[in-house]
Structure 1
Amino acid sequence: MKEYIIAKLIKIDQDYIYLLLNNICYKFFYSKNDIKGIKEDSEIKLYISNVWIENELKSFGFLNVENRNLFEILININTIGQKTVLKILDSYNYEELIDIFKTGNTDKILKIKGIGNYTAKLIINGMQKSLFNNQLSDKKQQVLISLEKLGYKTKDIYKVIINADDKLTIDQLTKYVLLEINLV
């Protein structure tokens, strides 16, 4: 498995970036946000991720290892496909994404075309679990859903519930979250 490639950038089109190395042309899917400012005919270092999607090996290239690592976590979240992952990476830079995932800001994920409420929650939950080892217990998930139905914003609930004591009952947890949200 290759970590990265250093080669001459010969072409960028809508979907692919093309690199030439030793008279062999390699093509990679890419994040548009990742390649801003690079020019054709320049030598670049591209971090590689190869993923099996629908019985086909697809190659993705990234200018920095952090974006590649984010991609690899996102692509492994169930029901999240390559187009959705690339849209996420196209929409925000690395630091913004880390902040979004850390704070559970589903509103920013929902701004991305084609991502609905369920998918946004799945992404936030998956990324918090992978990056910060935060996973909502069934109790916390139940309180989150209940408060969302009452009209509270997911990001506000997440900020409070993620740090709440798991030993609280559902009623105690609900009261705690409501009190903390109203203090903010």
Structure 2
Amino acid sequence: MIDYIKGEVAELTPTNVTLECGGIGYQLNISLNTYGAISQESGVKLYVYESIREDAHVLFGFRDKHERELFLHLISVSGVGPSTARIILSSLNSRELENVIATENAAVLQSVKGIGAKTAQRIIVDLKDKIKMTDESGTIRLPTKNDLSETGHAAVSALVMLGFVQTASQKVVSRILKESPTLPVESVIKEALKRL
């Protein structure tokens, strides 16, 4: 899996960027927000999501991990593919999208091209427990209890990405860390998978 690509901007349009890295040009689909963030730069680092289909391998690029996380949340919703998620992230910036989901404002989502009432409602229902408003640093604050350590937060995030329910994941991880506070994150996740 490609985590990020760092290189020189060879070509840039509002929807695509070609980054040259080690003599190879990687074409990445980007949102308008990422385009705005990199349009004045000659060298950039973009976080990557790789969509592998039968007929194509498509790369999506994001200015920061936060936007990529939101993209991953969006494509986890039934009926929302990578192209639709990119349109949503082009129409709304990360904070606006989080606010729309947190306040259950389906009307704003429906104003995005290609999003109907049912899809807008599904996005809100599926993501309102996964997405909370961001803190000042732009990191998604998962609705975790403050007593979770950094290891606990990482474990809960991983479990949520694997499709487990947030609240159940928090309870299990919290219990595991109370029993064994020095466990590394991988061991916490493995133990949680046995218990969930």
Q: Tell whether the structures are fold-level matches, with TM greater than 0.5.
A: yes
Helix, strand or coil for the counterpart of 2:32? coil
1:130 is matched with which residue?
A: 130
Q: Please, which runs of 5 or more residues in structure 1 have no aligned partner? A: 135-184
CA distance in 1, matches of 2:56, 2:125: 28
Match of 2:48 in 1: 48
Where in structure 2 are there 5+ consecutive unaligned residues? 133-141, 144-196
Structure 2: how far apart are the matches of 1:111 and 1:54?
31
Is contact 1:12-1:40 (8 Å) kept?
no
Asked if the contact 2:47–2:62 (Cα under 8 Å) also holds between the matched residues in 1, the reply is yes
* 1:77 corresponds to: 77
- 8 Å Cα contact 2:47/2:68 also seen in 1: yes
2:38 is the counterpart of 1:38: yes
**Contact 2:12/2:39 (<8 A) preserved:** no
For 1:164-175, what aligned pairs fall within 5 Å after superposition?
Answer: none
How far is the alpha carbon of 1:54 from its aligned partner?
A: 5.1
Partners of 1:103 and 1:41 lie apart in 2 by 35
- List per-residue Cα deviations over 1:81-126 (Å, max 9, x = no partner): 2221111100111111111111111011011122110010011112
Residue 118 of structure 2 is aligned to residue 118 of structure 1: yes
Q: Report which of the two structures shows the higher radius of gyration computed on alpha carbons.
A: 1
Residues 101 and 75 of structure 1, relative CA distance in 2, 3 Å threshold: same
Change (3 A) 1:41 1:107: closer
Kept in 2, the 8 Å contact 1:9–1:39? The answer is: no
C-alpha displacement of 1:55: 5.1
The answer to whether structure 1 residue 57 and structure 2 residue 54 are counterparts is no
Give 2:8's aligned residue.
8
Cα deviations across residues 141-171 of structure 1 (Å, max 9, x unaligned)? Answer: xxxxxxxxxxxxxxxxxxxxxxxxxxxxxxx
Cα distance change of structure 1 residues 41 and 120 upon mapping to structure 2, 3 Å threshold = closer
Mapped to 1, the partners of 2:74 and 2:54 lie a distance apart of 17
Distance in 2, matches of 1:82 and 1:129, equals 21
Q: What RMSD, in angstroms, separates the aligned Cα atoms of the two structures? A: 2.1
Letter paired with 1:65: K
Cross-structure match for 2:103: 103
The one-letter amino acid paired with 1:107 is: A
Number of equivalenced pairs: 134
Whole-angstrom CA distance in 1 between matches of 2:55 and 2:86? 19
**Structure 1 residue identity aligned to 2:11:** K
Letter in 2 for 1:117: A
Q: Tell me, in whole angstroms, the C-alpha distance in 1 between the residues paired with 2:109 and 2:8.
A: 34
